[in-house]
Structure 1
Amino acid sequence: MKTEHVNQIASAVNAVKATDVKNFYFVACGGSMAALATGDYFLSREISVPSKVYTSNEFVHMNPRGLGKGSVVILRSHSGTTPETVAAAKFAREKGAVTIAISMDVESPLCKEAEYIVHYNYKDGSDVIDGETGVYYSLIFGILNALTPNEKYERLLSQLKNLENLFETNKKLTYDRAFKFGSEYKREKLIYTIGSGAYYHQAYSFTSCLLMEMLWIHSNAIHSGEYFHGPFEATDFDVPFLIIKGEGPTRPLDERAITFAQKFSDKVEVVDITELDYAGIDEDLKEYFGPAIAGAVLRQYADGLAEHTGHPLSVRRYMWKMEY
């Protein structure tokens, strides 16, 4: 990892360590919110300090009662220009919270509003560890290790160097299936996605950012545990589902949803995270690396749809084209 990233992360981690932390807030919009939510899941699994994910505009308007001195607010915007997230950083800092901004641009409005900056490289030839996932994982597990030291976190941080190879290996491993999915589902006007645990956030990101935003395919992200509390009534032989079968403690929820969906629908695509390649990753750390690898694999599924529908992922109707 580049020295600048190491120093930025160290400064943010030290600030958290020096704080009598009462709570964590993860604040962003869209895909950035989904990415941050993985950190919320990890913190909830590992420590007793409460944390919560907010979409930026709600965070400001709701003004959480617990927000103030002792709060750590982690914000993310790819460009650093998302107005709602910039406003949230300003709001949180005024409340006395420790604010950490994650963005690819250190000169962005978001980074200028936050107290601590963690920036990542994007499409500049850098290794994955200096990209979005590597930098974010280094921050989150650095915080965990500072608050509750554990050799597990140290091992995880050392194994982040394997991410780039894992992304490339698993994209090759799933390429044929992903593009066949694109061919089989190219005429679908609606595709539901299902997941649980950290993978629910991957399902949400795939639904909102890839299917709906980029491909204009109607969708809804359904939590595997909630599938049987309403959504399963929409299941029928011609209703398509993409279900993430996760690696970790909530896998039984996914298995139950898959069993039912496959019984009544002829269009169930299962992405089994345990079948992916985890070379260089310790067995007890797979559940932490799985969500990151799943993100790269699911993007390939979107690429497959884009290829076969003839709809480029870069096309927008409204976003960045008008005031909204």
Structure 2
Amino acid sequence: MSVANVLTHAQDQVSRIIEAYKERTINRVFLVACGGSSALMYPSKYFIDRESTTITAEVYNSNEFIYRNPSTLGADSLVILCSHKGKTPETTEAAKFAKNKGALTISLMYVATAPLGDESDFIVNYSWAPPGQLDPHPEIANYAILYRLTMGLLAVKEGNKKYEKLLNSLNSFGTVLEKAKEQSINNAQAYAQANKDENVIYTMASGVNYGIAYSFAICILMEMQWKHSHAIHAGEFFHGPFEILDKDVPFILLMGLDETRPMEERALKFLKEHGEKLLILDAKDFDMSVIDEEMRGYLAPLLLNFVLRVYAVELAAATGHPLETRRYMFKVPY
């Protein structure tokens, strides 16, 4: 499929889903996935929490979604699932479980067909580029598709005006990412050389950006670099985790543009007072002038996620440990 057709295809898939919303009563959204796909869900939950007056949203690990069996799951529920290649067994079972409960199920996949799609009412095939590389269509990347689905839902059910602002902003997002890469590459190379031998690196964020910190900790540092890590919520930092900080412990702090930024600023002050090995990635330092002002807080995690992947590529080059190398994943029974 050509690049242009990929864009049109994904937009058509989303349009059909938006039409389906009009035919359903939806009062609960369940965002269901595993690992990095689960991390994708946090910004959309944040948006629904902030914007909706009639719809609630929860993020679930695919297996726990089945085991916990939420009593509110039913015909008035929307379940959005994600698996990059559509083959994650737990997520496929979660889709089947949700459909059996009468929920409307939508699955996001990079591939055109997969077991997850077979168990879902609708699928969306998102665009994807390797870490650190510019996606030709960031407006239909996974995070963007999730926003299209959740903001579109609130546009249909509550008349929320953010959906059109999202679409207009996404059309300019490639320019934002291109500038961000140019701005970050030298700093990423320097960071990689300085931290290639570190055994542990903590990541921290809050609000709409927390999922980005979580994804970087478990998918990049732990899975792809075999470094010890933990994603720390900035609001929880002072309730235990700050005791681990000293001048020899590396921390990455993500600072966004949403309403929870004061928690990140508080953490920043303490990190600067008591730590030295710090990487501060602040969305304010990047040019988002082409993005609608009301959308910048919501789109900051998409920007920070991309910048972190630029750092990941350079870290892998410095460590000599390719991001594709695995010890267990896809290699042994689990």
Q: How high is the TM-score relative to the length of structure 1?
A: 0.96
Q: Deviations along 1:247-275, whole A, 9 cap, x unmatched?
A: 11111100111111221111121111111
What does residue 142 of structure 2 align with? 132
Distance 1:44 1:60 in 2: 23
Q: Contact between 2:85 and 2:114, CA under 8 Å: does it hold in 1?
A: yes
**How far did 1:123 drift?**
4.7
Q: Deviations along 1:242-300, whole A, 9 cap, x unmatched?
A: 00111111111001111112211111211111111113112222101111111100111
Q: Is structure 2 residue 71 aligned with structure 1 residue 71?
A: no
- Matching residue within 37, 41, 44 for 1:39: 44
- AA aligned to 1:152 is K
Number of corresponding residues: 324
What does residue 232 of structure 2 align with? 222
Q: Deviations along 1:204-235, whole A, 9 cap, x unmatched?
A: 00000000000001000000000001111111
Distance 1:57 1:150 in 2: 32
Distance 2:136 2:288 in 1: 21
Q: Is structure 2 residue 86 aligned with structure 1 residue 80?
A: yes
Q: Contact between 2:179 and 2:287, CA under 8 Å: does it hold in 1?
A: yes
What does residue 277 of structure 1 align with? 287
What does residue 311 of structure 2 align with? 301
Q: Contact between 1:179 and 1:303, CA under 8 Å: does it hold in 2?
A: no
| More moved, 204-213 vs 134-143 | 134-143
| More moved, 174-183 vs 4-13 | 4-13
- Backbone CA RMSD of aligned residues: 1.6
What does residue 27 of structure 1 align with? 32
- AA aligned to 1:78 is H
Q: Contact between 1:16 and 1:98, CA under 8 Å: does it hold in 2?
A: no
| More moved, 135-144 vs 102-111 | 135-144
Question: Which secondary structure does the structure 1 equivalent of 2:327 belong to?
Answer: coil
**How far did 1:60 drift?**
0.8
**How far did 1:108 drift?**
0.4
Summarize the alignment of residues 1-324 of structure 1 with structure 2, pairs less than 5 Å apart: 2-48=7-53, 49-123=55-129, 126-324=136-334
**How far did 1:144 drift?**
2.1
Q: Contact between 2:151 and 2:162, CA under 8 Å: does it hold in 1?
A: no
- AA aligned to 1:35 is L
Q: Contact between 2:151 and 2:160, CA under 8 Å: does it hold in 1?
A: no
Question: Which secondary structure does the structure 2 equivalent of 1:216 belong to?
Answer: coil
Distance 2:200 2:8 in 1: 45
| More moved, 313-322 vs 167-176 | 167-176
Distance 1:21 1:126 in 2: 33
- AA aligned to 2:124 is V
Q: Contact between 1:194 and 1:222, CA under 8 Å: does it hold in 2?
A: yes
Change (3 A) 1:126 1:174: closer
**How far did 1:27 drift?**
0.2
- AA aligned to 1:233 is E
Question: Which secondary structure does the structure 2 equivalent of 1:262 belong to?
Answer: helix
Distance 1:323 1:29 in 2: 17
**How far did 1:75 drift?**
0.2
- AA aligned to 1:249 is E
**How far did 1:126 drift?**
4.4
Distance 1:7 1:42 in 2: 23
Distance 1:147 1:281 in 2: 25
**How far did 1:112 drift?**
0.7
| More moved, 150-159 vs 64-73 | 150-159
- AA aligned to 1:311 is H
Q: Deviations along 1:1-32, whole A, 9 cap, x unmatched?
A: 73322221122222223222121100000110
Distance 1:150 1:92 in 2: 27
Distance 1:235 1:126 in 2: 40
Q: Contact between 2:251 and 2:279, CA under 8 Å: does it hold in 1?
A: yes
Q: Contact between 2:203 and 2:217, CA under 8 Å: does it hold in 1?
A: yes
Q: Which runs of 5+ in 1 are unaligned?
A: none
Distance 1:3 1:73 in 2: 24
